[in-house]
Amino acid sequence: MQRLAHTLPALIWAAIVIALFIGTPSPDLTALYVAGATVSQGIPEAVYATPPDVFSAEAPPVLAAVRSGLGLADLPSAPYLYPPLWAWLAAPLTKAVSHDAFVNAALVLHVAMLAAAIGLSWRIVRPHGLAFRHWMILGFAILLLTAPAREALLANSPQITSLFAVLLAFERYRAGAFAMAGALLAVAAAITLAPLFLALIFVLERNGRAALAFAGMGGLLALSSLALAGAQPHSEFLALLGHIDNLTVLGATNFAPETVLFQLASLLTGDDTSGWSMAQITTWPEPLWLSVLMGTLMLAALAALILMRPRLVPGTAVPVLVLGISLATALFGPVSWAQLYLLPLLLMPTLFHLVSRETAWRWIIAVIAVQSLPAYMLWSELSTALFVTTLAGVLTFLGLLALLALAVFRAVRFEPDIPLHFR
């Protein structure tokens, strides 16, 4: 019965979403396709070619020529920001599959992954006080009505695959399949690097099998990438990430605290803000004070999460840590795109383990309301001197992280009705 309760809404939601988004341009997937094409055409040095500000709408000449040859010159441009492995694996596909078929097939796959994510998140969290049918309604409401979900579907990016792999990894971990969990998390980290921090959970849980499987699969993927692409693209990839880390990225959907602080500091000091635009992404050199502050906050958040582990009972520890670490890495990473917060949104029922049922519901409803599409449109209208879209996102998810930490440090215990072997 529970499977039917999940499958029917999932099919309805999937049909609606595919009808709405099929054929929508995906800058990230186009970047992956173009990167694969540069490899197949024998110009791998162009994979990580980017303009100085990285996120400019103008592609570098070498990539513009490849895009033009593929008939993609008029599509939105984005830099390729994923590890070399995926560009080299995509190379043969670019000869066998058209760009449109590639993007549309990825959309169908990503929609299926997001539909499955509702059930996976339930199996990870197993919240007391929330019936499965209510979580189905809540989960699909998140996927239909919130800005992070809309941004994820609009981007149709490999980050959805990474989200699915993270959820599947910890669902398997809770089921006792520790080696599979470690291997799946390594795959997620090989797509987007943020899941690397989630491997801390295996260490904190003292689960050697999961940790070794993570290290083994990660090593295998790294060696495969080096064998396929060689050392030079990996050096260029790391240099590009370092360059982005030294920039402040202003964009309507970058929910990063550093963006808010940068804008406030610019307004207070009277710096020229004429280049700011809600309609496009702009970059500015990151001040040293801001870089130090963000690094300190990131370390402080991770330290707090590590200190939380001894206070958590078995069964509660894993969902709390996955939610907390995913929030910390999204907030304090180099770029905090809205779709990165879809994982924390799906894990919000973790609050039922830590606070009263009424408080959990209030927070969940408030977060969904503030991040709903109507609210996002309102924040966009209010964004003039300051990106209110960013401010609303930062306050929402910083508040959720603070609630999580405070609830645990107050030593609030909730013994979930979960067998002890689930960890």
Express each pLDDT in 34-64 by its tens digit: 999 999 999 998 999 888 778 876 778 888 8
- Is 329 within 8 Å of 257 (Cβ atoms)? no
Tell me whether residue 416 is in a domain.
no
Tell me whether residue 419 is in a domain.
no
Confidence of residue 403 (pLDDT cuts 50, 70, 90): very high
Q: What is the mean pLDDT of residues 398-403?
A: 94
Q: For the chain, what percent of residues have pLDDT higher than 70?
A: 95
Confidence of residue 423 (pLDDT cuts 50, 70, 90): very low
Q: Tens digit of pLDDT for each residue in 225-271? A: 999 999 999 999 999 999 898 988 988 899 999 999 999 998 888 77
Q: How many folded domains does the chain comprise?
A: 1
**pTM as predicted:** 0.93
- Is 80 within 8 Å of 33 (Cβ atoms)? no
Parent domain of 132: 2-409
Q: Tens digit of pLDDT for each residue in 300-314? A: 988 888 888 877 877
Q: What is the C-alpha to C-alpha distance for residues 3 and 90, in angstroms, rounded to an integer?
A: 34
Tell me whether residue 414 is in a domain.
no
pLDDT exceeds 90 at position 363:
yes
Tell me whether residue 246 is in a domain.
yes
Confidence of residue 274 (pLDDT cuts 50, 70, 90): low
Tell me whether residue 138 is in a domain.
yes
Give me the residue label for tokens 């689960």. 207
State which amino acid sits at residue 108: V
Tell me whether residue 423 is in a domain.
no
pLDDT exceeds 80 at position 324:
yes
Tell me whether residue 266 is in a domain.
yes
Q: What is the C-alpha to C-alpha distance for residues 215 and 314, in angstroms, rounded to an integer?
A: 24
Tell me whether residue 417 is in a domain.
no
